[in-house]
Amino acid sequence: MVRGMTAAEAEQHEGYVKDLEDENKSEDDRKNAGHNLLALCIVGDDGSAIFENADDVKNNFDVSTSDFVNILNMINKLSGLGAVREKN
């Protein structure tokens, strides 16, 4: 199950994403933003986090790129934010 971000979480995430616009940031840095968001917003039935952090998501959440982006978009929609675009 996924949940939306709180206002404080969304503000922090938006700041992190804005920081990634720096051309010196690597593709790994950009991917890590998505992993952090999934770690924060994928929860169990009781609302508690399933993943401890971005590395836990990377190591244990094996989904296609399309599914990854769809989940990010669902989180953004639940949070009142714009959609993530998949890079071709």
Classify residue 86: in a domain, yes or no: no
**pLDDT tier at 26, thresholds 50, 70, 90:** confident
Distance CA 59, CA 12 (A): 24
> What pLDDT does residue 14 have?
84
Q: Dig out the tokens for 42 from the structure.
A: 């994928």
Classify residue 84: in a domain, yes or no: no
> What pLDDT does residue 63 have?
95
For 14, the domain range is 7-78
Please indicate whether residue 16 or residue 79 has the higher confidence score (pLDDT): 79
Number of domains in the chain: 1
Q: Dig out the tokens for 31 from the structure.
A: 């991917």
**pLDDT tier at 59, thresholds 50, 70, 90:** very high
Classify residue 72: in a domain, yes or no: yes
Classify residue 27: in a domain, yes or no: yes
